[in-house]
A and B are shown apart, each in its own frame.
Chain A
Amino acid sequence: MPEEKIIVLGLNHQTAPVEVREKLAFERSALGESLKRLHSLSAVREGVILSTCNRVEVIAAAVDEQAAFREIKLFLSEQESEKKPGGLEDHLYAYSGGEAVRHLFRVAASLDSMVVGEPQILGQIKDYYTAAQEAGTVGTILHRLFHRSFSVAKRVRTETGIGSGVVSVSSVAVDRAKRIFDRLEDKTVMLIGAGKMGSLVVRYLQSSGVRSLMVTNRTFERAVELAEEFQGNPIRYEDFPRYLQMADVVIGSSGSPQILLRSETVRDALKERRQKAMFLIDLGVPRNFDPRIDEIDNAYLYNIDNLKEVADEKLRERSSEAQKAEEIVNEEVAVFLRWLSSLEQVPTIVALRQKLEEIRRGELEKSLSTSLKGLSEKEREALEDMTAAMISKILHAPITHLKKRPEDQDEELYIEALKKLFDLGEK
């Protein structure tokens, strides 16, 4: 087997603006075609295309690294020129060998994501890998590489806190709701105001199980519209304090400069609902809810700043966990490279053995048919044994050396030297 190198060529959210990424994106429906085209490039042995909204990458195994880079670059720019030619060069990154392996592992572990730790990327990689497998463009090396990347992602997920926790204001709100309430399925949400943030939080709560929703707004028509959008019940603004006792979660999302909800109103509502806890989310700037509500027992008031603070803290936590994750990636890259070089070294050893064996056999035959013609059967055997022993003694040191230190940095150098010295060209 000739030595193949893993290479990565692509761009992501850090190197290219969204317009460039869009232009380069691969159509899911035509992916099979694109993969086959990639595979047909002369320098590319194996190839996978990864195309998400934040990145477009080609991961390939190639014999001639430089040629492959050239060809894939052309392949990508063809993809782009279908829309509009542009300076693709500036946005592309290219990795090979260990760097390429590290890059893929980091992407899979969501360390290279726009939101570090977000879990979708792994699923996307699996998807694109499967597509490549179906298109028949994956071989031993990429197969192993991608499967390793899945388990690296899993390790990072379980051994670091990078995927845990929440980062957006909406998800922090839902997280808090889940620590106040046992389950959200039987809870009722009241949305006051038509702010964008409020709709976001409602959507998040609904996807977490909330079924019952009341919507109120100063303009009743707007309340009706919103209620329709979220399949809730519109309530007239004047009436909302009366309905407050039914609400477990109250969201204030109005641009009103005045306080919409006084603490007395909440106190009364709590009495009505026999002190069943209420979670009040004030997304208004300036505040929609009276801050004194927080002093009431069984009322939990969070304003937008409280939620943001938690979200930011989570982000910071993630970055320290990211360091742990990088260490895991480093470890795994080393393991993978060891495997890769063992793939390479085995054929070299075999070739070396064969070469010496050929020489031995050739010389032996030559001598036995000429100068040593008169040897008896026994003597011939002894000669055979002796030469064979010589070869294996000569080979012993270099082979053990190669096998014993696969993690050696100079590994490739040794193999290269061996090939050159013994003229072990590919056949």
Chain B
Amino acid sequence: MDVTLLKVTAVFYLLGTGSFIVYLVLPKALLSRLSPLILLGGFLIHTSALGVHFFQSGYPAVTQFREALSFYCWFMVGVYLLFQLKYHLTVLGCIIAPLAFLMSLAAFAFGVGTGELPPELKTYWLLLHVTLAFLGNAVFSLAFGVSLMYLLQEFQLKKKKTNVLYRLFPSLETLDRLNYVFLVWGFPLMTLGIITGSLWAGFRWGNYWSWDPRQISSGITWLLYGALLHGRITSGLRGKKAAVLTILGFAVVLGYFLLGGSVFPSRHAGSFE
């Protein structure tokens, strides 16, 4: 993949992070408009980097672990920007932008080379599977963002001590509802991601489940989010508990990306035997 483009992308995400943080301290309308635009700039460059790879090789850049991380990051920023367009929740960017920057940085930490995909894996299954799975992860990242905001806002209201975030953050009710919305979108996407991956593995290797670290972490997250969604719908599980569970689920997703995949060889990290 074009390393220069990825580097420029990371620089943009860093600038975006800076702009969002300044916005926290100095909540001016200009910064509220500018910060997402900087992030959009990064996103477009990121898109071109991924696009170049896709058109040269014919498959998305996800065979290497670092590529997967970058791909995830791209989806997350994209989904956030779409969300921002509709809801103008600029403060959410204060969580997403640094996350995007750290993910881009982490991707570099795992090297810069491109992996080779065995030609027999170049199928539409790959595109379908990774798109669904990463889209699900991206939506969960936003769920994580609003949940973190929920906890911060709830803490201030309970402690009866407010700081600068109090005014910038929306109400608990709004944040809790967004948690639900993201869950409702993210969960089916993730489910489909797991199903397509599993079916593909079944056709290709003969076993649907191979206890690959990615599968294990996804399984845990899936169960966790499934239980959370179930609780939300049936028994009034909401507010702080829902926020904590969402953050936990996201920690598992991120934990895999930062630890699991790089340590254990797997089909999700460039070894296809």
Contact = CB atoms under 8 A, between A and B. Distances in A.
Interface string A246-274: 00000000000000000000000001011
A26 interface: no
A276 B237 CA distance: 9
B238 A275 contact: yes
Contacts of A273: 236
Given A294-B158, A302-B160, A277 B166 contact: no
A302 B157 CA distance: 9
Contacts of B166: 179
A300 B238 contact: no
A298 B174 contact: no
B188 interface: no
B53 interface: no
Contacts of A297: 239-241
Contacts of B158: 294, 300
Contacts of A180: 157, 171-173
A178 B171 contact: yes
A385 interface: no
A352 interface: no
B238 A298 contact: yes
Interface string A173-216: 00010111110000000000000000000000000000000000
A182 B170 CA distance: 8
Given A179-B166, A180-B171, A294-B158, A277 B239 contact: yes
Interface in B229-245: 235-241
Contacts of A178: 171
Interface centre among A176, A181, A277 (most CB of B within 10 A): A277
A277 B172 CA distance: 9
Contacts of B170: 182
B177 interface: yes
B104 interface: no
Contact of A275 (B153, B169, B171, B239): B239
Given A294-B158, A302-B160, A306-B160, A182 B177 contact: yes
Nearest to B235: A274
Interface of B is mostly: helix
Interface in B77-111: none
Interface string B238-266: 11110000000000000000000000000
Given A277-B172, A302-B160, A179 B153 contact: yes
Interface of A: 176, 178-182, 271, 273-277, 294, 297-298, 300, 302, 306, 309-310
Interface string B132-161: 000000000000000000000100011010
Given A181-B171, A182-B171, A275 B160 contact: no
Given A176-B157, A302-B160, A310-B160, A182 B174 contact: yes
B160 A181 contact: no
B157 A179 contact: yes
A298 B240 contact: yes
Contacts of A300: 157-158
Contacts of B237: 275
Contacts of B239: 275, 277, 297-298
Given A182-B171, A309-B160, 13 more contacts: A176-B157, A178-B171, A179-B153, A179-B157, A179-B169, A180-B171, A181-B173, A182-B177, A271-B236, A275-B239, A277-B172, A277-B239, A297-B241
Contacts of B177: 182
A275 B172 CA distance: 13
Nearest to B238: A275
28 contacts: A176-B157, A179-B157, A179-B171, A180-B171, A180-B172, A181-B171, A181-B172, A181-B173, A182-B170, A182-B171, A274-B236, A274-B238, A275-B237, A275-B238, A275-B239, A276-B236, A276-B238, A277-B172, A277-B173, A297-B239, A298-B238, A298-B239, A298-B240, A300-B157, A300-B158, A302-B160, A306-B160, A310-B160
